[in-house]
Amino acid sequence: MKLIKPAPVTEASLTSNVAEDDAPGWNPAKTNGYAVGDKVMDAHHIWQWQGEAGKNTAVAPSADTTLPARWLDLGANRRWRMFDKKAGNTWRIGTATTNAETIDVTLKPGQVVNSIALFGMEAATVQIIMTAPGGKEVYNETFRQQRRGVNNWYEYYFTPIDRAETMVRTNLPAYGQATVRVIVSNPGGQARVGLLVLGRLITIGESIYGTSVGIQSYSRTDIDDFGNETIIARGSRRTVDYDVRIPTEDLSRVTRILDQLRDTVCPYIGTEDMEATITVGRFENLGINIANPAYCEATAEVRSLN
């Protein structure tokens, strides 16, 4: 089991081809104020006016602390959703950055990074280009997201092509001041990325058989007196309960790392060869049994926040 400790993404470190055009920018000089329900952009978030009609605020929506709140935070705009999925203190499941055919972003993390993970993708290919200080290209790989397991000729010709929604690469060269460009392509359609994390790989222990995966649905079904069902579609979360073997001598290091990251959303990786064991979220419970002097047996429960 491994995790990627995210490097922060800031306005100064991000270049993107996705426009920030979800709503007009907040205008402090709008003397006739805003109508209830009007939306504006500020600090890369979308805000909806819910104060008195025809009024405005003297401070930007992101800095307005008036109670009751006059601006409702609807979450990050289209460019930033793949890095910032919060609306206020709420993590918005299912939100994503979308763009016609291609999402092309360049990140300058300003610290050592060696791993990258993308979740909730709709893409045919993903290209990763890493450039070291001085302009030398040290990594350039293109990955096809297409996958189709077939058992016979009929399935080969008629089974719809499946695409992986998740991609993890942990073999980037470790540079402290590198530039990483990610090109997500979906020709003829909308390219989509739910979450992109660039950071440093940390090994927790060895994932073993016994790890379990699942899906928790939040859709609701209402049944009336005649047995008719009404299904209200809602989001879902993927769950992974990792069974991990940790060298006993590493126990203190591992518990210290996980304690520091308990409120941080990270990609967790059982094995890169099995997409179902890769998720992004925060661990909700950690249990460790010191089995013997050589190793400990641990269970880490992770619930996705994508």
Domains and CATH numbers, the chain: 39-77 (no CATH), 93-202 (2.60.120), 206-304 (3.30.200)
Do 164 and 276 contact (CB within 8 A), yes or no? no
| Mode of pairing for the β-strands spanning 206-207 and 212-217 | unpaired
pLDDT of residue 264: 92
pLDDT of residue 154: 74
27-47 pLDDT per residue, tens: 999 889 999 999 999 999 999
Strand partners, 25: 41
pLDDT of residue 306: 79
pLDDT of residue 16: 98
Q: With a cut of 70, list the residues of the chain below it in pLDDT.
A: 147-150, 156
pLDDT of residue 286: 87
Q: Give the CA radius of gyration of the chain.
A: 22
Locate tokens 């591992």: which residue?
254
Sequence-distant (≥ 6) Cβ neighbours of residue 245 within 8 angstroms: 205, 206, 208, 295, 296, 297, 298
pLDDT of residue 280: 95
pLDDT of residue 148: 59
Peptide bond into 173 cis (omega under 30): no
Looking at residue 188, its amino acid is G
- How far apart CA 200 and CA 117 sit, in angstroms, is 11
pLDDT of residue 164: 87
Peptide bond into 68 cis (omega under 30): yes
- Tokens linked to 77: 């705009």
pLDDT of residue 153: 74
Provide the 3-class DSSP secondary structure of residue 79.
coil
